[in-house]
Structure 1
Amino acid sequence: MSPAPAPAPALLVIAHGSRDPRHAATVHALVGRARTLRPGLRVETAFLDFNTPTVAQALSSLYLSGVREVVALPLLLTRAFHAKSDIPAALAESAARLPGLSVRVADVLGPSPLLISALERRLFEAGLTPADRSTTAVVLASAGSTDPEAIAAIAETAREWRRAGWCAVRPAFASATLPRTEDAVRALRAEGYGRVAVAPYVIAPGRLPDRIAAGAEASGADVMSAVLGAAPELATLVLHRYEAAVATPALVPALTA
């Protein structure tokens, strides 16, 4: 009789966390959607701050249940400070305390065509149609970062989305760098664009997404879409990043006690 195949590594989705209860609820909804797409795969959630379980608590729980291989996935759209520093440090500290635990780190979610599909889904849900692409300018409004790699990735996403047929797509930021959402909307108006939509490039509600919404309202944006949330494209992308980490372990950071 052939030995039973080894269980697939568990997936630990690591979100930022927020004092705003909508944040954790949205993260749990997204993770739940990913879980339904892969029955039998152990999928858990952890948070860097404000919410529980923490990374250490989630890894300890997985370990005590017999899990020895984990793929940790940063629920982030760009590789900024949290992806480069906070998450690896939290994982390394926990792995050092759990003998025999192997943790591989998947890539962040962005950039990806699936994210652009999710952004368009939210704009269409807000009232636009595919036919509106050629007459609508879009502000791609992110939370913001001081990391040049993250800023460049958002700018590239805007350029890539523009190729889908929108008459303009401009990045904006709720913090850390400029322009702000309201400034980007006003600049597009000044350039002669008659319809301007704001698309939050954020996963879950919270203080910075609320700032994006306030800027859109203050500047008179015509359309304001919802955050990406538990969009099916994001759930699929989470699993794509997991599968890539499992298939190419030599190409991702590995932490083994």
Structure 2
Amino acid sequence: MTTWNLSQMERHIMICNGATCMRAGAEDVTGQIRDEIRIHRLDEKIHTSRTRCNGRCKDKCVVIDYPKGTWYSVQDEDVARAVVHESANRDAVIYSMENGERKRGENRIKGINKYKKGNSSMKKAVLFVGHGSRLQAGNEEVLQFVEMMRADIDPTLLIETCFLEFASPNIEEGIQKCVEKGADEIHVIPIILLHAGHSKLHIPAEIEHAKEHFPDIQFTYGQTIGVHEEVFEILKSRLEEVGLDVKEKHEDTAILLIGRGGSDPYANGDFYKISRLLWEQLNVPIVESAFMGVTTPSVDEGINRCVKLGAKKIIMLPYFLFTGILMERMNKMAQQYRVTFPEVTIEIAEYFGYHPKLKTVLLERMNQALDGTSSGMDDLENFRQYAKEHGYEHHHHHEHV
């Protein structure tokens, strides 16, 4: 571990490398500031450090210059380099010290208090976390679904929706919204099918990070949808919509249940469990499992297996909550399979979407978090133990195709 001799240093420039600032280009800002210092041979006078989040996420990217105590919002290279020479435009200043008093820039919002004051009644917020999609239509479906649930939720609860990745607001911003609206308790509910990396690590990491900024806020965490009886009712109704009578015997029909795919063996095991339990509730000879990416068997392999087992009709059954890039790809695959296997009837069922049974499950998960019976709290404790043993940076990894 390096130990610098800082005795000659006159200034210390700290560049926020928190999740929000990193998404806004903090890596480039860090490089630009360090490059300017190097070019002007100021290394002996100015030291730089990367920091965790400094709590001014709306002013991203945040750079702090000590000992003067000036906070900057750095949004382009010119400002980054000007910070080194203390010549940045006043519009870039978040806070400055003047005559021993901290002054906030005229164009900067006050923000929210880090610590709650007073003894007013507790205000509870429910923050639903969707996965997020590169396809905006999928994100809109999540937002609309949560809106549809409002009628069945206690009106005294604050309701917000955010996304894990690919869409805004992200979790950090979603928590910020809840706090800005006065929440003392935030109940984070994942709209996620299977219990894997996102629910075990990524969302708990965001919650633990938020606790550092809002020590007076109480957080709880809900559990994923998981293996739930209502899931089978959703799947069977989607099969019925494409003409399968789930009460009748279908000797030549195969169901290919298709999931997103991931690297968590327990989540993949749950997916196979769901396939098996679905088969138990149907009168078809074949229910196969396949994944769109990351793990096997692939959808191609699943289709080929169904054909080899003698299926004359194959129903591709998406195990997806909402639409997205993968659903678009699956529809194209179905078209190609019809060309490749003209002797086989190939149908594709709808994803979960706005199914009323999905609302039932999510409301159950929400109520479990609210009444303290959610197993999601175990995930927070498990994450803390994992981070203690293995370390964990405040960001999450993409595990998708």
| Aligned partners of 1:143 and 1:209 also within 8 Å | no
Shift of 1:7: 6.2
- Quick one: distance in 1 between partners of 2:291 and 2:333? 10
Percentage of matched positions with identical amino acids? 25
1:202 matched to 2:320: yes
| Aligned partners of 1:104 and 1:249 also within 8 Å | no
1:12 matched to 2:127: yes
Q: Which moved more, 1:33-42 or 1:58-67?
A: 33-42
Q: Which moved more, 1:41-50 or 1:214-223?
A: 214-223
* 1:227 equivalent in structure 2: 351
* 1:56 equivalent in structure 2: 172
Equivalent position to 2:255, from 138, 141, 148? 138
- Quick one: distance in 1 between partners of 2:296 and 2:312? 23
1:154 matched to 2:278: no
Residue type at the aligned position of 1:243: N
Query: Which structure shows the higher helix fraction?
Result: 1
SS in 2 for 1:59: helix
Structure 1 moving runs of 4+ over 4 Å: none
Shift of 1:228: 0.9
1:96 matched to 2:212: yes
Show the 5 A alignment for 1:32-71. 32-40=147-155, 41-71=157-187
SS in 1 for 2:370: helix
Show the 5 A alignment for 1:228-243. 228-243=352-367
Shift of 1:62: 1.0
| Aligned partners of 1:17 and 1:47 also within 8 Å | yes
SS in 2 for 1:169: strand
* 2:193 equivalent in structure 1: 77
Shift of 1:140: 0.7
Q: Which moved more, 1:218-227 or 1:139-148?
A: 218-227
Residue type at the aligned position of 2:275: A
Shift of 1:204: 1.4
RMSD: 2.1
TM-score, reference length from structure 1: 0.89
SS in 1 for 2:323: coil
| Aligned partners of 1:174 and 1:209 also within 8 Å | no
What are the Cα deviations for residues 96-119 of structure 1, in whole angstroms up to 9, with x where unaligned?
A: 212311111111011111111111
| Aligned partners of 2:316 and 2:348 also within 8 Å | yes
Residue type at the aligned position of 1:189: V
Shift of 1:169: 1.5
- Quick one: distance in 1 between partners of 2:367 and 2:297? 36
What are the Cα deviations for residues 158-213 of structure 1, in whole angstroms up to 9, with x where unaligned?
A: 00111112412111100011122232122112111222101100111112222333
* 1:177 equivalent in structure 2: 295
Q: Which moved more, 1:202-211 or 1:106-115?
A: 202-211
Residue type at the aligned position of 1:76: I
- Quick one: distance in 2 between partners of 1:204 and 1:62? 25
Q: Which moved more, 1:218-227 or 1:73-82?
A: 218-227
| Aligned partners of 2:337 and 2:346 also within 8 Å | no
* 2:399 equivalent in structure 1: none
| Aligned partners of 1:30 and 1:231 also within 8 Å | no
Of structures 1 and 2, the larger Rg is shown by 2
1:21 matched to 2:136: yes
Equivalent position to 2:224, from 108, 118, 123? 108
